[in-house]
């Protein structure tokens, strides 16, 4: 028997069924092609590992880009002093108060 084969690989009736699509090259050689699941009567194709990893990596990269953009917005450069951070008065006062608390401890 050679060709495409579908098999129910997991079931929790009546709400969940997992169906795997296989390519059968010989009676003993089987390669999974796709996984589908039926949840409450609706059929879905399960995402591939590649698509999950690439989506999560892209999401992480976007967050890192946002962090760098925020840091870049607060950085200031002067030829005599080099780079420094722009702080509001509230941030300066909070930092100074925190340093005093650390020094008193």
pLDDT in tens, 45-84: 999 999 999 999 999 999 999 989 888 888 888 898 888 8
Amino acid 105: pLDDT: 60
pLDDT higher than threshold 80 for residue 100: yes
Report the alpha-carbon distance of residue 101 to residue 104 in Å, rounded: 5
36 in Cβ contact with 44 (< 8 Å): yes
Amino acid 34: pLDDT: 95
Give yes or no for a cis peptide into 88 (omega within 30° of 0). Answer: no
Please tell me whether the overall predicted TM-score, pTM, comes out greater than 0.75 for this model.
no
Structure tokens at 96: 């100074």
Report the alpha-carbon distance of residue 10 to residue 7 in Å, rounded: 9
Query: Residue 24 CA to chain centroid, in angstroms?
Result: 33
């Amino acid at each position: 028997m050679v060709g495409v084969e579908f098999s129910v690989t997991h079931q929790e009736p009546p709400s969940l069924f997992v169906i795997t699509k296989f390519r059968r090259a010989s009676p003993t050689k089987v390669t999974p092609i796709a996984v589908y699941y039926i949840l409450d009567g609706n059929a879905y194709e399960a995402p591939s590992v590649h698509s999950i990893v690439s989506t999560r990596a892209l999401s992480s990269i976007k967050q890192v880009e946002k962090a760098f953009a925020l840091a870049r917005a607060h950085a200031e450069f002067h030829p005599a002093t080099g780079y420094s951070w722009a702080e509001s008065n509230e941030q300066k006062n909070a930092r100074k108060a925190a340093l005093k608390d650390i020094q008193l401890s």
